[in-house]
Structure 1
């Protein structure tokens, strides 16, 4: 699995999330298998997004779409601050939290 890992500061999470949700169809069309959105506990004005793909080519294509069609247009990327940090990651290993630890979370 390939992960397109993106992180950047934002001005308003609700505005950012609304824009993110508007691109659900584009993510599906690009082959996104799933995603995860996180924010640092000490910085609500920062967002970290992982998008999962079957191939690096799919991830690279979607990253190009983001750079040229989304992030380059403030109307399509409201609440975005600066230029996002993005990189492709290959999954080498996945481990699960032991059941007894998961129950405590």
Structure 2
């Protein structure tokens, strides 16, 4: 199912739902613009989110964007480890719901 060529079909969305997609792309551009958080950090945040949601498209796109913004292998690896810790932490803390007295 995952094939980066599918992203070429975004043109169908862009033309078939023009107002909504124009708004989406404007929001996306604004969200990733440098601000209080620099672009590389924003890409690492996006990558962490993509790893959590397990979106193969987003993992590939934001890994590439993070690398273009200067992210090192070490930064990418630490992003993955932090993501894994948050997911594991959620399982551990939600496990407390199993113990009712």
**Fold conserved (TM > 0.5)?**
no
Identify the structure with bigger relative contact order (alpha carbons < 8 Å, sequence gap 6+): 1
Q: Which protein shows a greater Rg?
A: 2
What TM-score do the two structures reach when normalised by structure 1? 0.27
Structure with greater helix share of residues: 2
Structure with greater strand share of residues: 1
